[in-house]
Chain A
């Protein structure tokens, strides 16, 4: 289909800048994109009859990675006298 209506996973690597140009970067567009992503994740992994640990464990792992990334500056300053 046309470039602007494809999802991110279906866009080829070479077309990525063009796809980014067609994206709607206003507040509404960003919120809509976030909502679409969340709803697709929710429908695939959480809103099922027999789910497993995968649904929330991936969310927790993402949260861990994100918080590590935010605190990296603080963590990388290791104090030498802690291990004593």
Chain B
């Protein structure tokens, strides 16, 4: 409930971030009367003015019975004394504890803020690294282009070799075929010639040739004997 009554952004120009809370509250004397009252009476009555006013007011209230003294007065006096004793004795401890709680809250918020800042800074560094990587993109594409060119070249040469081998095989076949044909023709012709020659040798010719050979052999043996 307390927070909703605080007016935020009441002026046109809204200050963001909000201004920090004031360190100390308004000055209050004796815990009850704001300092402004004393300052208000100071020019006319000096330092003791408000105290005289308070005493006079108190005496007037008591004497005219506007404030009656009964059992409640005693109770109020006891309660007030206990409260004042408690505040005087434990006030600073409670204040330190509350300050510590506040400090923890602020530290947590600060930690969150620092965490966010650190995350954003690492993100920025990574972004810069990515930008640096982008510069190397052209080299990547050049390497890829070289690879592809080499692949194409290899493939082309392989196919060239295949073509050459195939053509050579066909030509070798033709050459072997021709050689074989010529060989067969040669053999056949030799056989035919021999057959005809053997057929053409008549028995008369055979006797004559044998007699001639015997005569030649005798002559040769004679010449050999003469030489030896």
B172-186 CB mask vs A (1 if < 8 Å, else 0) is 000000000000000
Chain B residue nearest in CB terms to A54? B28
Decide yes or no: A39 and B7 within 8 Å by CB, A52-B28, A53-B31, A75-B70 being known contacts: yes
- State the interface size on chain B (CB cutoff 8 A): 28
B28 and A58 within 8 A (CB): yes
Inter-subunit contact B23/A50 (CB<8 Å): yes
Partner of B68, one of A39, A61, A75: A75
Q: How far is the CB of A81 from chain B (nearest CB, A)?
A: 13
Contact A46–B70 (Cβ < 8 Å): no
- Assuming the contacts A42-B2, A42-B6, A53-B91, asked whether A48 and B28 have C-beta atoms less than 8 A apart, the reply is no
The residue among A35, A49, A68 with the most chain B CB atoms within 10 A of its own CB is: A49
B22 within 8 A of A: yes
Q: Which of B18-44 contact A (CB under 8 A)?
A: 20-26, 28, 31-32, 34
Would B102 and A49 count as touching, CB distance under 8 A? yes
Q: Verify if B223 is at the interface (C-beta below 8 Å from A).
A: no
Which residues of A come within 8 Å of B, CB atoms? 35, 38-39, 42-55, 57-58, 61, 64, 68, 72, 75-76, 78, 82
